[in-house]
Amino acid sequence: MTAPNEKEPKSAGVVGKSISRSDGVAKVLGTARYVDDLPALPGEIHGATVRSPVPRGRIRSVRFDPSFDWSDVIVVQASDVPVNVVALIADDQPVLAAKQVNHAYEPIVLLACADRRKLTLAKLAVHLDIEPLVPVLDVATALEGSNVVWTAPAGFGEPNTNVVKRYVLTKGEVDVDAELARCAHVLSGAYSTHHQEQLYIEPQGVLSWWDDDGVHLVGSMQCPFYVHKALVKAFALEPHQVDVAQAVTGGGFGGKEEYPSILAIHAALLSRKSGRPVRMIYDRTEDIEATTKRHPCLCEITTGCDADGTLRVLKMRVVMDAGAYVTLTPVVLSRGLLHAAGTYRWPNVFMEAIAVATNTPPNGAFRGFGAPQTIWAIERHMDALAAYLGTDPMVLKRKNVLVEGDTTATGQLLRTSVSSLECLDKGSSASRYVERRAEIEKENRRRAQRGERKRLGIGASIFMHGAGFTGSGERVLQGKAAVDLLPGGRLRIRTASTDIGQGTETVFRQIASDACGVAVEDIDFAVPSTKVVPNSGPTVASRTVMVVGSVVEACAREIGDRVKTEQVEQGGTFAEAADRLLVKEGSVTALHQYEPPPFVHWDDEAYKGDAYPCFAWMCDVAEVEVDLDTFETDVKKLYLIGDVGKAIHPTMCKGQLEGGSLQAMGWALFEEVVWKDGLIQNPRMTNYIIPTALDAPVFDTTLVECPFPYGPGGGAKGIGELPMDGGAPAIAAAVEHATGIAVHHLPLTPERLFEASLGRLSPTSTFHPAA
């Protein structure tokens, strides 16, 4: 890791320019090959999954219809799995259910057949006899605990309860209740959020085959080394016997972080048993039903402040629904908790975060990773507090916002790259927040007088997102990347960071180009395959550019320096020097490992310290129009002010902020998984509603560059998840401004807004006026 003062890019280069994407042409022309487009391998057959129709039950028997011709159908059951565990954090999830099912759609039997039509008929010829057990389907019942539906694996969770994970975070005064009693104003509220489906355009899919080397797998995924680890475990193989490569991937949003592991094992099981290559591609319905979603979350908050609105105490409980198995829940819960205090200065904090198991499909990674849930809560609470104090929310937030030199709830000293105030002020000025608020109120009065039924509103949110793995995560992970010198002075980047549409390939090339002076066109990007690339860690947690990018930068700089040294010594062009070096040394490769900045210290036990090396900051201002008859919310305009450290590729950077905000808007206004008895009622794109281009607001996006000295390209920070965090509370604040209805529970669908207008879903803040 280079020190900050050496960070100036050597060439004026391409960082900071919106060059054309290196994956663009193939995707536009349709020549990019997603896993379903790969040509069939000799003898290849299709795989399918038979799943549980009930949320919880004991498997009495699996019967294969004797009148069906099974001769050319491969059948795999739990007894065929060498080690029936999906390796992740806790080993509680089976590859195939054997005796009991713990959520609807849990896989029980795998089938494969060359004839696709016959395969669909074969699924109907498998008869499951399952004795239903009483399921737990919501957080409150799970927490209450009389029906324990989850068995804690050794070392995990709290035995004989549904509690999968619990954290406690404290700061300042030990007795927060006593401290609350000393506050001028105390306010309590409860805020909840719902499931969200990632709805990447390309559903999950993999292709697997075996040969003398072991198992091979190509698929749509974010993290080849997670899949690798899962295959090693399930088949009890040596690491070198497993080869996992990413195919061109059509979106992930976290949905292809952990789920591909289980699908990969399924395909590899069928392939091993049949001796033939097996491809499994989910259709949209199966994908929505079976794969992970955003964790629903309930936050209860009590805060205390001074008479002038200075915040003193935050007391909070965060409860998340893990679903039936642990998967990534402890990490999601942790990130949720670490963002739960928002961008505010709290001298005294007591927070508890709990994840409970329910009989619903396991929830998992989704852009924001727990933070959107808790930021929704704290931002709505701050709006409620402002209403209670009779001040404008932006005034209250500005007064208490974290600035350089402050400490966060975990006691992290904010040393550098803190732009909360700048983002907030730019958000206010770009949107003309104060003037627009007054104008809108006047316009709404005019409309009311004329009997018009639409109302305008404006609202804002201010938020941050930690870049990279939480706490000691990066230190443990030791992410690596490599750059090879190729003949003719070309370079090849080798990392496990996948381009899933967000532009990794392009941005890494830009970073490498500026670090060594080689043109972007002369830099290749190796397909992320576990046989070829070092383990850079997963493509998650807003870490790709900031963490892996900085390693790529160090590698490229080393190669560049070595070639230039050769050039200085022996003359010639860069390419000639490179070729001489290759002849001399055989191969020229730089392999580096990520080193977190030296000041980053995290104490896992005490849950204190530097939660993240740095934060990206953002302010959203939403203008909405709400129809008082139909309660439809039309988001007219979204002002986005995001501090990205350094925009390596400004267009894609804006694309992340705008796309992420649109996804946040979908979560706020449209998206809702409708459940009935543990089953999903709307597993289709026609009834799981995401915004289309027509629903998208006009975006007014400003990139703020407050560099992180240790970030690549002159200070880039991670921004992939940031925009997901603040859209919902900004829109809800604007809806509140327009209608007077303060919604504390997502989503703000017209139906819910209508209910709230009748007082049936009343705001849950309760006021405790000062004594």
Partner 1 sequence: MTIADLSSMLFDRVRDLSALCTRVGELSDEGIPFVLLAGGTDWMVEQEMREPLASDVFPTVIDVSQMGELRGIRLDGDILRIGAATRYLEMRRHPAVLERAPLLERMARDVGAIQIQARGTLGGNIATGSPAADGVAALAAFDALVVVKSRRGERHIPLSELQTGYKTSTRAPDEIIVAIEIYLPSRNATWFWRKVGTRKAQAISKVALAAIAEVQGGQVVRCGLGMASVAPVTALLPRTRELFLSTRLDAIDDFMIDKCVESDIQPITDVRSTGPYRLHVAKAVVREFARSLGAA
The footprint of partner 1 (CB under 8 A) covers 116-117, 119-121, 124, 285, 453, 629-632, 670, 674, 681-682, 686-687, 689, 691-692, 694-695, 750-751, 754-755
Looking at the Cβ atoms of 590 and 669, the one nearer to partner 1 is 669
Closest contact distance (angstroms) between CB of 201 and partner 1 is 14
Looking at the Cβ atoms of 445 and 684, the one nearer to partner 1 is 684
Looking at the Cβ atoms of 58 and 453, the one nearer to partner 1 is 453
DSSP code, position 162: S
Closest contact distance (angstroms) between CB of 752 and partner 1 is 9
DSSP code, position 715: H
Q: Which two tokens stand for residue 514?
A: 């500026």
Looking at the Cβ atoms of 284 and 398, the one nearer to partner 1 is 284
Rounded Cα–Cα distance for residues 714 and 6 (Å):
10
Instruction: Return the amino acid letter for 338.
Output: L
Single out the residue of 482, 484, 503 nearest to residue 492, CA to CA. Answer: 484
DSSP code, position 731: H
Single out the residue of 421, 336, 347, 422 nearest to residue 376, CA to CA. Answer: 336
Looking at the Cβ atoms of 699 and 754, the one nearer to partner 1 is 754
User: What is the tally of helices (H) and strands (E) in the chain?
Assistant: 20, 28
3-state secondary structure string across 86-112: CCCCCCCCCCCCCCEECCCCCEEEEEE
Rounded Cα–Cα distance for residues 434 and 428 (Å):
7
Q: Where are the beta strands (DSSP E) in 324-433?
A: 348-357
Closest contact distance (angstroms) between CB of 684 and partner 1 is 8
Rounded Cα–Cα distance for residues 485 and 184 (Å):
65
Looking at the Cβ atoms of 91 and 672, the one nearer to partner 1 is 672
Cα atoms in the 13 Å half-sphere on the side-chain side of 214: 15
Closest contact distance (angstroms) between CB of 34 and partner 1 is 18
Closest contact distance (angstroms) between CB of 628 and partner 1 is 9
Instruction: Return the amino acid letter for 664.
Output: A
Looking at the Cβ atoms of 378 and 665, the one nearer to partner 1 is 665
Q: Find all residues with CB under 8 Å of 406, minimum gap 6, and list them.
A: 345, 413, 414, 418
Closest contact distance (angstroms) between CB of 686 and partner 1 is 7
Percent of the chain that is helix, strand, coil (3-state, to 5): 35, 25, 40
Give me the residue label for tokens 């909840």. Answer: 192
Closest contact distance (angstroms) between CB of 729 and partner 1 is 21
Closest contact distance (angstroms) between CB of 54 and partner 1 is 19
Q: Which two tokens stand for residue 321?
A: 């629904």
Closest contact distance (angstroms) between CB of 173 and partner 1 is 46
Single out the residue of 507, 478, 523 nearest to residue 225, CA to CA. Answer: 478
Q: Which two tokens stand for residue 324?
A: 């039936």
Looking at the Cβ atoms of 277 and 683, the one nearer to partner 1 is 683
Looking at the Cβ atoms of 356 and 635, the one nearer to partner 1 is 635
Single out the residue of 748, 670, 673 nearest to residue 137, CA to CA. Answer: 673
Q: Find all residues with CB under 8 Å of 438, minimum gap 6, and list them.
A: none
Looking at the Cβ atoms of 19 and 628, the one nearer to partner 1 is 628
Closest contact distance (angstroms) between CB of 127 and partner 1 is 15
Closest contact distance (angstroms) between CB of 689 and partner 1 is 5
Looking at the Cβ atoms of 113 and 387, the one nearer to partner 1 is 113
Q: What is the DSSP string of 640-668?
A: EEEE-SS-SSHHHHHHHHHHHHHHHHHHH
